[in-house]
Amino acid sequence: MNAGLTAMEVLRMLGSMLLVIALLLAVLWGLKRMQKQMLTSGQPGRRLQLLETLGVGTRQKLALVRVGEQEILISITPTQINTLGQWKFDSHEADHVA
């Protein structure tokens, strides 16, 4: 009996492992995309809408939120949330930009 692994068995094992890792990364990418679409989709009847987020550090981010006719820029850290600025949302201006 041969106690060692042949080159073909090692290649098959590495190929299988790479396939599993690739599938895992594809699923994680798909879930992240779905989550982002669910958070940013304008659902009828909802007043609160997350427009965009931007990571500015390992545990800090900025978020642009629309509440009714107001847009609010907030900073988010593990211990607090701060309002950085707010302004009235102009739907006519948004039509010209898009």
At 46-70, the pLDDT tens digits run: 778 888 999 998 999 999 999 888 9
- Same structural domain, 14 and 24: yes
Helix (H, G, I), strand (E, B) or coil at 18: helix
Q: Mark the ranges of the chain whose per-residue pLDDT is less than 70.
A: 1-3, 39-45, 91-98
- Same structural domain, 56 and 94: yes
Report the number of distinct structural domains present in the chain.
2
- Displacement of CA 67 from its chain's centroid (Å): 20
- Same structural domain, 67 and 97: yes
- Same structural domain, 33 and 61: no
Name the pTM for this structure.
0.50
In this predicted structure, what is the pLDDT of residue 48?
Answer: 84
- Same structural domain, 96 and 52: yes
Which residue range is the domain that position 12 belongs to?
A: 1-41
In this predicted structure, what is the pLDDT of residue 34?
Answer: 85
- Same structural domain, 80 and 35: no
Task: Give me 24's structure tokens.
Answer: 């895992």
In this predicted structure, what is the pLDDT of residue 96?
Answer: 43
- Same structural domain, 17 and 49: no
